[in-house]
Amino acid sequence: MVIVRALSGGVACGLIEFSAEASPHFIRTKRGRNGASAKSRMITDCHIHIQPMEMFKPHALELMKHKRPNFDQIVEFCRSPKAFLKFLDASGIDRAMLINYVAPEVIGFTSGVNQFVADYVKEDPKRLLSCGSLHPRHTTNVLADVEQILRLGLQMIKIHPPHQLLFPNDYLSGAKELEIIYRAAEANGVPVMFHTGTSIFPGARNKYGDPIYVDDVAVDFPKLKILLAHGGRPLWMQTAFFLVRRHPNVHLDISGIPPKTLLKYFPRLEEIAHKTLFGTDWPGPGVPDIKKNLDEFRALPLTQSVQEQILSKTALTLWPA
């Protein structure tokens, strides 16, 4: 069995394949026809929530509706990848990582999100990247669930501690399922994204949002590609910055941080640009429009090469085009 082999031998199974071709979209929309340079300018939003809306619990849905004037449009995007791709075009985004995770208690998401996102990205797998998840307490067979994620070809696994009500290092205190998830992800080269920082969804528990608990994961799984979503905003930015500098395998996802405050929170961002990814967290509560987010990021006093690194290159190293 694939996972067992991965766990015992630590050998990549190669279940997840990436294509090296540029899609017609990129050739069409990029300046010039040189595939290599066009790719290097390909902009990836590494954190967009396209998810099965029907799974939302009423309280969580209320918050989304209340905070988003264009809620109907979001429902339509979650239903129609074609409509969403047009929206990405209008927003100036080439690729989007579609974040899905299992959080039955707080949000309502079940492991059905994995099939949802796998089906959704079939519309254009070069532009739509898939993130799925599993929950150590809501699985009867973690090996089978991990294998399903790999077979579906999902390109990232999301762990959301404040919504899943767990600490990232709970494998040290008995949650062996977490260790199996990390080992399989590490062996198969699938990055794991941790939500870090607070959450205002009803029922979210914010003690779990402190990124310091990811330190153990980075130490125990040194080849696991780790992303710290939101850089610990707003309480633990220094911890996040430390972890990215301390561990070669830890990356920063700047989604959910208003670009105007990004350099206030991370004044030494350029030092970690090679491991930093652009993302928006759209359409999360309070997150501005993607295009506005992108424009504000571009207006920051960062060099062209640092901007290109964060908007394009870091994501290309994790998910080659």
Beta carbon nearer to Zn ion, 38 or 134: 134
The answer to whether the Cα torsion of 227, 230, 235, 239 is positive or negative is positive
Angle at 194 between CA 262 and CA 285, to 5 degrees: 60
Q: How many residues bind Zn ion (CB under 5 A)?
A: 1
What gap in Å lies between CA 315 and CA 159, rounded to an integer? 19
Structure tokens at 217: 């994961």
What gap in Å lies between CA 12 and CA 321, rounded to an integer? 20
Beta carbon nearer to Zn ion, 171 or 208: 208
Other residues' Cβ atoms within 10 Å of the Cβ of residue 30: 18
Which helix (H) or strand (E) covers residue 120, if one does?
helix 112-120
Beta carbon nearer to Zn ion, 50 or 224: 50
CB 113 within 8 A of CB 101: yes
**Contact residue for Zn ion among 214, 224, 281, 293 (CB under 5 A):** 281
Smallest gap from residue 176 Cβ to Zn ion (A)? 27
Pick the piece of the chain touching Zn ion (CB under 5 A) from 4-12, 29-37, 266-274, 280-288.
280-288
Q: Which residue has the tokens 């199974």?
A: 13
- If one asks whether residue 147 binds Zn ion (CB under 5 A), the answer comes out as no
Residue nearest to Zn ion (CB): 281
Smallest gap from residue 99 Cβ to Zn ion (A)? 5
Smallest gap from residue 284 Cβ to Zn ion (A)? 5
Beta carbon nearer to Zn ion, 30 or 195: 195
What gap in Å lies between CA 261 and CA 224, rounded to an integer? 29
Pick the piece of the chain touching Zn ion (CB under 5 A) from 62-70, 79-87, 164-172, 281-289.
281-289
200 phi and psi, to 5 degrees? Answer: -105, 10
Smallest gap from residue 204 Cβ to Zn ion (A)? 12
Pick the piece of the chain touching Zn ion (CB under 5 A) from 7-15, 52-60, 129-137, 279-287.
279-287
What gap in Å lies between CA 112 and CA 122, rounded to an integer? 16
Q: What residues numbered 295-314 form the site for Zn ion, per CB under 5 A?
A: none
Q: Which residues bind Zn ion (CB under 5 A)?
A: 281
